[in-house]
Amino acid sequence: MRIAFTADEPKGLDSVISYHFGRCPYFVIVELDGRDVKKVENVDNPSAESHAAGELPQLMNQLGVNAIVTGGMGPKAQEYFAQYGIQPITGAYGKVRDVLEEIIEGTLRERPPLAEEHVPHVEGENEEIRRLKLEVRELRREVAELKSLLRELMGGR
């Protein structure tokens, strides 16, 4: 089984899951053999700045992905994935490693998509908007770290 995770950074299992499917800068693709991680790949999102409808589901299909895990995804994108037999899982947050463990353990509960904080990229956007985007990304990383620590404190539960 191959699972793609939207990611804010190319750190494999330690990547923070991106809240916005279409504009995530990276995908982390994890290949499982039963419960064992066989391979982890970081893949640049070639369409992070702009993409045509259906382009990314087609890419995931070409990469042999069976499921896509993300914070948020619109209904149209979910329809495209369904056409390829790829299961979208929305509402995920934290580090890829932790969400993957929930999938393997069968404890992952799909949540409604997270509210998107995405501010559309505008040519010549001002410094304040760029700074706010960076702050939001950093807050996501901190939430992911806290989730990992909490998971460790609870003994991996």
pLDDT for position 73: 85
How many separate domains does the chain show? 1
Going by DSSP bridges, is the β-strand pair 2-7/36-44 parallel, antiparallel, or unpaired?
unpaired
Give the CATH number, domain containing residue 144: 3.30.420.130
Given this model, what pLDDT does residue 42 score?
A: 98
| Cα 124 to Cα 89, 121, 128, 135, distances in angstroms | 34, 9, 12, 19
What pLDDT is recorded for position 128?
A: 64
Phi, psi for residue 111 in degrees, rounded to 5: -110, 160
Q: What is the pLDDT of residues 100-115, one digit of tens each?
A: 999 999 888 766 554 4
Average pLDDT taken over every residue of the chain: 85
Between residues 119 and 73, which one has the greater pLDDT?
73
pLDDT tens-digit readout, 9-39 = 999 999 999 987 888 999 999 999 999 999 9
pLDDT of 101:
94
| 8 Å CB contact between 57 and 34 | no
β-sheet bridge partners, residue 95: 16
pLDDT of 118 higher than 60: no
Q: For residue 133, what pLDDT is reported?
A: 72
pLDDT value at position 72?
83
- Residues of the chain above pLDDT 70, percent: 82
Position with higher pLDDT, 130 vs 148: 148
Of residues 97 and 124, more confidently modeled: 97
For the record, the structure tokens of 112 come out as 């409604």
Between 152 and 123, the more confident residue is 152
In degrees to the nearest 10, what's the CA dihedral of 127, 74, 143, 153?
A: -170
Task: Give me the domain span that covers residue 8.
Answer: 2-153
DSSP, residue by residue, 130-152: HHHHHHHHHHHHHHHHHHHHHHH
